[in-house]
């Protein structure tokens, strides 16, 4: 039983660097040539840039929506104030 557990721990520890590496570090060892590595790193870079652009566009949309709502509220308040100050 001790031999089995020691063998199991040895097998796990032998694969530990490959298991703990990120996808970009794991993948090139299984890709033949350097052409695949460039595609993988470009894919990771493109996905990060896409996520940042999406967050920026959502925040920009919220900012424009808030600015438009504030302008509409200001116009409504001004028209209501103009109607209450009007004497018949």
Per-residue model confidence as pLDDT tens digits over 13-58? 776 665 565 655 555 555 555 555 566 677 778 888 899 999 999 9
CB distance 22 to 44 below 8 Å: no
CB distance 16 to 29 below 8 Å: no
Separation CA 32–CA 57 (nearest Å): 38
Domain range list for the chain? 1-30, 33-82
What is the four-CA torsion angle of 74, 78, 80, 84, rounded to 10 degrees?
A: 150
Considering only residues 66 and 11, tell me which one the structure prediction assigns the higher pLDDT.
66
Decide: pTM greater than 0.75.
Answer: no
């Amino acid at each position: 039983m001790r031999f089995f557990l020691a063998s199991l721990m040895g097998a796990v520890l032998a694969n530990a660097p490959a298991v703990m590496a990120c996808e970009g570090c794991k993948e090139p060892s299984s890709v033949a040539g350097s052409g695949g590595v460039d595609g993988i790193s470009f894919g990771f870079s493109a996905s990060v840039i896409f996520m940042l652009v999406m967050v920026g566009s959502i925040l920009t949309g919220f900012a424009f929506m808030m600015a438009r709502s504030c302008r509409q509220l200001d116009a409504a308040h001004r028209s209501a104030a103009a109607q209450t100050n009007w004497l018949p």
